[in-house]
A and B are shown apart, each in its own frame.
Chain A
């Protein structure tokens, strides 16, 4: 039983969350989001269907005039040229 518990605990520890935000581009064409994280502002290009992990500490993102603020755990998706938080 103890072993079982330990195993469960280990499993749980291994599965603890990846804390970065993730973004996926559901559109067929490439999209570029502007990510402002810390003291830097960067462009993140996503090809159609591509997904990425970014912004572990919270950031501001913008896509063609639309803005979102992330704390670093959100899952973002782009569809039809618009961002949406899942």
Chain B
């Protein structure tokens, strides 16, 4: 252990020395060494020393996979550093090149000599350049070495793995005998060691051990009781509950496993810690005890987990639908498997620590692997499910075959002597199996949380619902998000764990995760997940900041400042779009996407965009013009083409207009820009409305005029200035047509005023017996009637008419036979029902 830092120190000293020597030599030769050369020289020399050291460590660790993986990471870093060291010269190199350019080449022979100053400077620059070149060359050489080492390590690790799996031990009776004698030897030696240790403990360290045991037990008990207090409600199981919700089952399973395992872990850890603290552990005992604790903790954990998931005593609280009897059986089998694997590990460690004979390790591994294989085959024979009639049903066929094949393969491999392979497979069965089971439960819980209404039932959901009023739909969304998070978590925790089991090292996984997160390469295009996530996060922050700023500007600044509503809206919208655009740009650059490439593509595509997005772009620009010019604002009553209504929202592409029938019309902005738009309430809401009315021929027109004038002036909403007026419009077909014209301060009240005035007219006319006529039609059927009908009509004399007499013979105004031709020959000019 102590040797390592010394090594480091030595390497560092060597590096320092080399650097010093390298740095000193040119000084002697040339008086002044440029600064960059001096510093980088030291850096590169240091990197070279590091490479030497790593090379030595690789040679020393050819058999250790984990170490090799770690070394590989260090080498990767070194390779990057070397590139950086080379790049550090770039600014200086560029400078030298630019300065050399105007100086030109040295004069050839026969040409006139140049000034001494020029020659000197060229000389200096060239020498510095050559120094730099030499240093870059050095970095290149070291980089080559580093990369070759990396390749070598990969090869070594492949070979190592293949060797472990393919190495064959001879297994025969001789081995059995050897194992037996070795085992008795080893056990007696082990017994002596342990006995000696115990004696030592009892004699000198009894009080310490007792104290340690006390503290450890106390810690575990505190955790158990405290946990029980805190999470007691979660652990309480109602055996009578016929169908507890999946979430509660999960939480019970999780908390019961977690609390008990944590208590056990605390007990072992604190025991270990206090033993270590009181110096109770001596020599090999410490390492062996540690292995024992690890194995015991793991076996107990697996047992607890199996109990929680399969819950043999409480069928309703089972996480996986399995019959009671097989559940009990499975818990036993799984625990037995954990014990076998655990003991394999324990003995492996003990034999390794004590340097026991190889035969012993082989024999122990053989026994353990065979047991695990047989247990797996036994698990395959269990019939855990029940079919519709309650008869036991086996595992799904594929799973069963997999169990049989893997179990048989383990046993066979072990018996044939491929102990490494068998050990590998049996470890995978137990550990990968456990991880897969956990992942499966994780996925199940994710699914359970995502179910409708499930999240509101969880403790967190209840608490949230109690504090804030959260709607059910929100809860469902939160549940969905939680489920996605759980699934991601399962994936990101479970996958590396499994990879770890399958012979990959932390280093590899970290390197992969790093490369996936920072650089995914498709052809020559590369992008980084972290970059994209950062970009999205930055955009989101920018987006919400913009919204907040918009709200603040609108509510606090502009409302207080009495800014006109239209201007407010324009500013608000403009600020919103500008903010989003800015956030987008910052997000894009945070994502590491080069905008200059976008410019290139945009240039190439602009023609296509010009054609394809013509409408969108034109609307967009129109929207900007609308915001700047403000021909109407939100709340205005506008008439655009056939659409008449209130403006609800002006966005950049289209404007929302709500008609008086409450239909929302989305009108593209270009139409509002290109065509005439009528705005009833542009500068003010003053407006004129007209009400037409016809009275019968023979009425006193002056009197009618006066009456109408009186009615118009009498209405409270009618403005006195401009005055209301009554126009005698024309001599109509069957009536004398008048029109009341009044101005209102708010034209949106038009319909109400029209209504009031019409009622008033009707009442006034009734009082003064003024008749309101309607057109008459005389229908004459047959030739005989024609003659009869025309004569009296002519004799009677039809009222004077402005228009030409109706040419049709069949239909003529008549007082005798009346028929309503058109229900509203009202001469009102305006559209009537606008609200």
Offer 29 A-B interface pairs, CB within 8 angstroms, sorted by A. A4-B616, A11-B602, A12-B588, A12-B593, A13-B593, A15-B597, A15-B600, A16-B526, A16-B593, A18-B525, A38-B150, A39-B144, A39-B148, A56-B526, A58-B80, A60-B86, A60-B139, A60-B140, A62-B140, A65-B133, A67-B133, A68-B90, A68-B93, A68-B136, A69-B85, A71-B83, A71-B84, A85-B90, A85-B94
Q: A69-B86, A69-B90 are in contact. Are A20 and B524 (CB under 8 A)?
A: yes
Q: Is A28 an interface residue (CB 8 A)?
A: no
Q: Is B9 an interface residue (CB 8 A)?
A: no
B598 to A36, Cβ gap below 8 A?
A: no
B151 to A39, Cβ gap below 8 A?
A: yes
In whole Å, how far is B530's beta carbon from the nearest beta carbon of chain A? 14
User: Cβ of B140: which chain A residues have Cβ within 8 Å of it?
Assistant: 36, 60, 62, 67
CA distance A66 to B93 in the complex (A): 10
Which of B83, B527, B602, B653 contacts A69 (CB under 8 A)?
A: B83
In whole Å, how far is B733's beta carbon from the nearest beta carbon of chain A? 55
A69 to B136, Cβ gap below 8 A?
A: yes
Which of B89, B523, B601 contacts A11 (CB under 8 A)?
A: B601
5 nearest A-B pairs in the assembled complex, by CB-CB distance? A69-B86, A39-B147, A19-B526, A18-B524, A67-B136
CA distance A66 to B423 in the complex (A): 56
Which of B133, B592, B616 contacts A66 (CB under 8 A)?
A: B133
Which of A5, A19, A70, A84 contacts B97 (CB under 8 A)?
A: A84
Which of A5, A15, A39, A56 contacts B521 (CB under 8 A)?
A: A56
Q: Is A8 an interface residue (CB 8 A)?
A: yes
Mask: chain A, 30-46; 1 = CB below 8 Å from B; 0 = not: 00000010111100000
In whole Å, how far is A12's beta carbon from the nearest beta carbon of chain B? 6
CA distance A39 to B144 in the complex (A): 5
Q: A1-B652, A82-B97, A84-B97 are in contact. Are A69 and B139 (CB under 8 A)?
A: yes
In whole Å, how far is B627's beta carbon from the nearest beta carbon of chain A? 14
Nearest-neighbor residue (CB-CB) of B601 within chain A: A15
CA distance A15 to B80 in the complex (A): 27
B133 to A19, Cβ gap below 8 A?
A: no
Q: A15-B601, A69-B89 are in contact. Are A56 and B594 (CB under 8 A)?
A: no
Nearest-neighbor residue (CB-CB) of B596 within chain A: A17
Q: Is A27 an interface residue (CB 8 A)?
A: no
In whole Å, how far is A28's beta carbon from the nearest beta carbon of chain B? 20
Which of A1, A11, A41, A82 contacts B144 (CB under 8 A)?
A: A41
Q: Is B87 an interface residue (CB 8 A)?
A: yes
User: Cβ of A17: which chain B residues have Cβ within 8 Å of it?
Assistant: 525-526, 593-594, 597
Q: A69-B90, A71-B87, A85-B94 are in contact. Are A15 and B598 (CB under 8 A)?
A: yes
User: Cβ of B90: which chain A residues have Cβ within 8 Å of it?
Assistant: 68-69, 85
| Chain B interface residue number, banded | 35 or more
Tell me the interface secondary structure of chain A in the complex: mixed
**Known contacts A69-B87, A71-B87, then 12 further A-B pairs from the complex at CB < 8 Å, ordered by chain A residue:** A5-B584, A11-B598, A12-B588, A13-B527, A16-B527, A18-B526, A39-B144, A40-B147, A60-B86, A68-B93, A68-B136, A71-B84
CA distance A48 to B84 in the complex (A): 31
User: Cβ of B147: which chain A residues have Cβ within 8 Å of it?
Assistant: 38-40
Q: A20-B524, A68-B90 are in contact. Are A1 and B651 (CB under 8 A)?
A: yes
Nearest-neighbor residue (CB-CB) of B594 within chain A: A17
User: Cβ of A13: which chain B residues have Cβ within 8 Å of it?
Assistant: 527, 593
Q: Is B143 an interface residue (CB 8 A)?
A: yes
Docked complex: B428-478 residues within 8 A CB-CB of A? none
Nearest-neighbor residue (CB-CB) of A58 within chain B: B83
User: Cβ of B86: which chain A residues have Cβ within 8 Å of it?
Assistant: 60, 67-69
User: Cβ of B139: which chain A residues have Cβ within 8 Å of it?
Assistant: 60, 69
Q: Is B226 an interface residue (CB 8 A)?
A: no
User: Cβ of A15: which chain B residues have Cβ within 8 Å of it?
Assistant: 593-594, 597-598, 600-601
Q: Is B551 an interface residue (CB 8 A)?
A: no
Nearest-neighbor residue (CB-CB) of A59 within chain B: B83
B653 to A60, Cβ gap below 8 A?
A: no
Q: A4-B616, A69-B89 are in contact. Are A16 and B525 (CB under 8 A)?
A: yes
User: Cβ of B143: which chain A residues have Cβ within 8 Å of it?
Assistant: 36, 60
Q: Is B641 an interface residue (CB 8 A)?
A: no
A16 to B597, Cβ gap below 8 A?
A: yes
User: Cβ of A12: which chain B residues have Cβ within 8 Å of it?
Assistant: 588, 593, 598
B150 to A39, Cβ gap below 8 A?
A: yes
CA distance A66 to B525 in the complex (A): 29
Nearest-neighbor residue (CB-CB) of A22 within chain B: B524
In whole Å, how far is B81's beta carbon from the nearest beta carbon of chain A? 11
Most-contacted residue by chain A among B144, B151, B652 (CB, 10 A): B144
B137 to A67, Cβ gap below 8 A?
A: yes
CA distance A13 to B597 in the complex (A): 10
Q: A39-B151, A85-B90 are in contact. Are A60 and B136 (CB under 8 A)?
A: yes
CA distance A36 to B140 in the complex (A): 7
User: Cβ of A70: which chain B residues have Cβ within 8 Å of it?
Assistant: 83, 87
CA distance A23 to B87 in the complex (A): 17
